[in-house]
Amino acid sequence: MRLNDAVIGLVLVIFALAEITYSTTFPSLHGQKFGPSLFPILIGCGLALCGLILIVRGVISRRTPDNGDNEWVVLGDWAQSPTTRINMMLVPGLLIAYILLSDTIGFLPLAFLILATLLYRLGSSFLSAAIIAIVTTVLLQLLFARVLLVPLPAGITGNLFG
């Protein structure tokens, strides 16, 4: 699959604008000129600039004749297989499901289901997918809860490990 630079640039600009907008919601610190939103906003501005450069470069390359780069999106041979297309859509679909359901269901069961599903769909056996998903989920929970001190959504399981 090949995307024109303008498409990638547009996605980058949209992401940068969303990131900058979210960063402005960070609380300011009393007595300080710069708050916690400064660096995310600077990074967002850099991403937006890079995105604009990619957009310009992509549009210019589409206007140049005979450079073989006249399509916005070129799908590879993998796109002919329905299984591969399902697997491709499964990754963003499961990420969106995690975002929407993690507070209700919790990190542990949802991360296990997502990892096991992805591993199984991408070629692991059912047993190895389940074992790897369990071990990875528990290690991630312990890493975030005990080492990084970042609480993960407890959901229906409560805080089993943390």
List the structure tokens of 33.
């000129």
Residue 97: Cβ-neighbour burial (10 angstroms; 0-12, 13-18, 19+): middle
Structure tokens belonging to residue 101: 């359901």
Q: Which two tokens stand for residue 122?
A: 């991408």
**pLDDT (tens digit per residue) in 88-124:** 889 999 999 999 999 999 999 999 999 999 999 999 9
Backbone phi, psi, residue 158, to 5°: 70, -160
| Tokens at 115, concatenated | 């990892």
Question: In sequence order, which residues have a C-beta less than 8 Å from that of residue 84 and are 6 or more positions away?
Answer: 78
Q: pTM (2 decimals)?
A: 0.61
In tens, the pLDDT along 61-94 reads: 888 766 666 788 888 887 788 888 888 889 999 9
Classify the C-alpha dihedral 137-140-142-144 as positive or negative: negative
* Structure confidence by residue, pLDDT tens digits, 19-78: 999 999 888 877 777 888 888 999 999 999 999 999 999 998 888 766 666 788 888 887
Distance CA(123)–CA(113), nearest Å, equals: 16
